[in-house]
Amino acid sequence: MLAFLAGCMAPDRIAYGPKAAATASIEGFGDIRIYADTSRNLPEARAWLPIPRHKEINYLVLSGGGAGGAFSVGALKAWSDRGQRPEFDIVSGVSTGALIAPYAFLGPAYDDILVDLYTSGVAKELVNADFLPQGLLGASLLKQKPLRTMVERYLTHDILAKIAAEHRKGRRLLVLTSNLDSQRAVIWNMGAIADSGRPDALQLFRDIVIASASIPGLYPAVLIKAKSGDQSFEEMHSDGGSASQILTIPEGWMANSDKVEWPKGVKLNMYIIINNALMSEFSTTTNNTFTVMARANSSLIKAQTRSALVATYVYAQRNGIRFRVASIDTQVAYNMTDPFNTNYMRAVYNLGYAKMASDSLWKDRPSFTDTLTATQTAQWR
């Protein structure tokens, strides 16, 4: 029995220290990432900041939210159908938002891929559980293979080449992961990775997206090879939502009291889509371990997202940024035991589509309340 349990344990890793972690880089890729808590000074700023092509910079922010990502897919599809969707100069994604971001970055021609991913039922393939005790003693409860297979199917060499071409035009695609070893949020310049010309660029690109979308405990973290001086090791990266549900402005920038000088004569428009509810959602919680843990985690995510939105809003007000935010502000029944339920995903997709189509999606400041009705009670059982 002990031998069996030992076989279930996660494998050992190469140890490394905080000094190596602080100076680590991905060999051969240059400055493709920064920690979110660093100062506003960017390495090779021209490769990070967008190159303004018009009088406006349009920034799309896609949050975490699991199956709720269908909400932003619906909103983007309706935006395209209305013929009013801008070509975004910056797109950032966290968790499920990281899965959506590459296609949102490439534009309306890729809407159908997103609609298929989030409404066809294919997402149910992501739930492939390990049996106990392997799931509890190993790296995760769910296997990574279905998620990796899906990412490899849709993130191809052709997609990478198109992202690289847009990066060269001055557009920027960013993804957030959580470095679990350092307990720091990492911002990855995905366009620079795509444009690196390296044969392993696609593998790294996929690994980052998978890491950002890997909910801790449910999916295994992703080990990414790094190097500091002569020392090689693997960093453990997981769900970007562990650090922040949204990637708007790096923490180090927001903490700086100085006003950031954006390009003169250029207006920054920030569109934030929260693939989750910000309002309180009442439910009589079933008193069992997993339900209580899930309910508490949901409350934590709401609080984290609200705080990030308020910080971003204050920063936007201070720096003259046009702020727009959308969220799932109508309760939709959700069962935590069926995390990628197709009916739920279609419902929030339709909600996002309808709100954009009716011009009622955006709010110009964070709002955390809504009218609740008994018939809309969420399912936490």
CATH number, domain at 156?
Answer: 3.40.1090
- C-alpha distances in Å from residue 321, one per residue of 55, 129, 246, 336: 13, 44, 17, 37
**Could you tell me if residue 337 is inside a domain?**
yes
**Mean confidence (pLDDT) of the chain:** 86
Query: Residue 294: its pLDDT value, please?
Result: 74
Whether cis (ω within 30° of 0) applies to the bond prior to 133 is yes
Q: What is the DSSP letter of 66?
A: G
pTM, two decimal places? 0.89
**Could you tell me if residue 2 is inside a domain?**
no
**Could you tell me if residue 6 is inside a domain?**
no
- C-alpha distances in Å from residue 239, one per residue of 61, 78, 115, 155: 16, 28, 23, 18
Strands (E), the chain: 33-35, 56-62, 90-94, 172-179, 184-189, 222-228, 231-238, 267-273, 322-326
**Could you tell me if residue 160 is inside a domain?**
yes
**Could you tell me if residue 202 is inside a domain?**
yes
**Could you tell me if residue 13 is inside a domain?**
no
Give the tens place of pLDDT for each residue, 320-339. 999 999 999 998 988 877 88
Query: Residue 377: its pLDDT value, please?
Result: 43
Residue numbers annotated as active site: 95, 239
Is the pLDDT at 21 greater than 70? The verdict is: yes
Question: How far apart are the C-alpha atoms of 91 and 64, rounded to whole Å?
Answer: 14
Domain extent, residue 313, equals 23-376
**Could you tell me if residue 92 is inside a domain?**
yes
**Could you tell me if residue 9 is inside a domain?**
no
Q: Which amino acid belongs to residue 334?
A: Y
Average pLDDT over residues 138-164: 86
> pLDDT grade, residue 41 (50/70/90)?
low
Number of domains in the chain: 1
Query: Residue 295: its pLDDT value, please?
Result: 76
Question: How far apart are the C-alpha atoms of 157 and 160, rounded to whole Å?
Answer: 5
